[in-house]
Amino acid sequence: MIIKDKFNTSFRPLVSILIPTYNITKYFNDTLKSINNQTYKNIEVIISDDNSKEFFYNKLIKTTEKFPNLNIKIYHQQENKGVAFARDFLVEKANGEYIFFLDDDDRIYSRNTIWNIVSDLKPDTEIYAGNFVFAFDTIPYHSNRSNYVNYSIYNSSKKLNDSVNYYLEKITFTWGNLFKKDFLIKHNIRFNDSGLRIFEDIATLGKIFFLSSKFQHTNKPTVRYLRRRNSLSNLSIEKFNQKMEFLEHAYKINIQQISEILQKENNPNSKEIITKLHDAKFIEFLNLLTQHYLKSSKVKRNRGIVDKYISDNILRIKNEVFQYAKLKFFSKNMYYLPIFNKIKKILNEK
């Protein structure tokens, strides 16, 4: 469908913005506002409500009614099935040629974000990857611009295609990227196949990027990913350990799926790729292990929990999940250096 607007481009695909939600927060209005403000107008919004409590579901309906100009569809699930199921369900319901995942408390980075992507998009592109910023609800909106994420482990290799190079260089998540729906359907991409209720994107994204041959990306941020104070300050040892177990399992699935793809392709560079994969995903794991907790209101307490987890588990995780990692990245200037120095010391002593 072609919609006339102030931009002059012949390629204007329908973009389906897919939002899984459960018991929406006060930030959902800002999420929809960031969509409503987009200068690119050929957009639909599809929401899967994961059997929220009645109060929150009614709040969801009332919030969407504030944006009558948005093409919004809401599906209310009769039982809580988790975000992995919701992502698969939303992909099936999407009418757009391209899909863009967004969490219900995050925001599209700027009013021109979707337009900038589409204006650069080639019609056969399967993945258009974007960057992101971390936003904290205890920090003023504009100050969050400083939390721009742009780390790289490796320089690109001519032996690998663009999507694989990108995946090995960057931290990647489901949200903030544009995916061609037909590409996901063709390769039977199912987030729920991981069996995980969280970190399903980490388990699945490696497969997606390794299967893609038509890839583009931008270094500009496309999403503001919100970290809420309550989700940080309520950290407990039990919850943290359980969450890390899920994260561990997600990376095991990730690496296994990629290994199977390389074996099926009989890729001559498999050994080199696997080594880089273990390095890249180990450092990604370490970033996820630390970065969400160090800016909370109870930093010292949270650091104690993280420190204990590292002391008790990091060597086992390195040997069981990322056994081929060469650990050369420790010589680089990484985020949260004291934490990484602690990890380096533990690994070097064993």
The pair of three-digit structure tokens given for residue 232, joined into one six-digit string: 């940080």
Examine the pLDDT at 284 and tell me if it is beyond 90: no
Residue 330 has a pLDDT of 54
Question: If pLDDT is split at 50, 70 and 90, which confidence band does 70 have?
Answer: very high
Residues ≥6 apart with Cβ < 8 Å to 115: 7, 38, 39, 40
Residue 92 has a pLDDT of 98
Examine the pLDDT at 3 and tell me if it is beyond 50: no
Examine the pLDDT at 137 and tell me if it is beyond 60: no
Residue 146 has a pLDDT of 35
pLDDT tens-digit series, residues 12-26: 999 999 999 999 888
Query: Rounded to 5 degrees, what angle do the CA atoms 195, 164, 323 make?
Result: 65
DSSP-assigned letters across all residues of 281-292 = HHHHHHHHHHHT
Residue 93 has a pLDDT of 98
Examine the pLDDT at 350 and tell me if it is beyond 90: no
The pair of three-digit structure tokens given for residue 26, joined into one six-digit string: 């006060």
Question: If pLDDT is split at 50, 70 and 90, which confidence band does 29 have?
Answer: very high
Which residues pair with residue 18 across a beta bridge?
A: 46, 101
What percent of the chain shows pLDDT beyond 90?
57
The pair of three-digit structure tokens given for residue 154, joined into one six-digit string: 């490796």
The pair of three-digit structure tokens given for residue 284, joined into one six-digit string: 């990604």
Neighbours of 56 (CB within 10 A): 16
- Fold classification of 15-227 (topology level): Spore Coat Polysaccharide Biosynthesis Protein SpsA; Chain A (3.90.550)
pLDDT tens-digit series, residues 225-268: 876 555 555 667 888 889 899 999 999 999 999 999 999 989 88
Question: Does an H or E element contain 229, and which?
Answer: helix 229-233
Give CA–CA dist 241/245, Å, rounded. Answer: 6
Examine the pLDDT at 28 and tell me if it is beyond 90: yes
Residues ≥6 apart with Cβ < 8 Å to 162: 156, 215, 216, 217
Domain ranges of the chain: 15-227, 234-349
Residue 338 has a pLDDT of 61
Average per-residue pLDDT for the chain: 84
The pair of three-digit structure tokens given for residue 119, joined into one six-digit string: 């204006």
Neighbours of 326 (CB within 10 A): 11
Question: If pLDDT is split at 50, 70 and 90, which confidence band does 4 have?
Answer: very low
pLDDT tens-digit series, residues 34-69: 999 999 999 999 999 999 999 999 999 999 999 999
At residue 308, φ and ψ (nearest 5 deg) are -65, -40
Q: Which has the higher per-residue pLDDT, 11 or 154?
A: 11
- pTM beyond cutoff 0.95: no
3-state DSSP call for residue 62? helix
Residue 299 has a pLDDT of 64
Residue 31 has a pLDDT of 96
Residue 231 has a pLDDT of 55
Span 124-148, average pLDDT: 64
3-state DSSP call for residue 4? coil
Note whether 163 and 127 are within 8 A (CB).
Answer: yes
Examine the pLDDT at 149 and tell me if it is beyond 50: no
Span 214-232, average pLDDT: 80
Residue 324 has a pLDDT of 87
Span 118-146, average pLDDT: 72
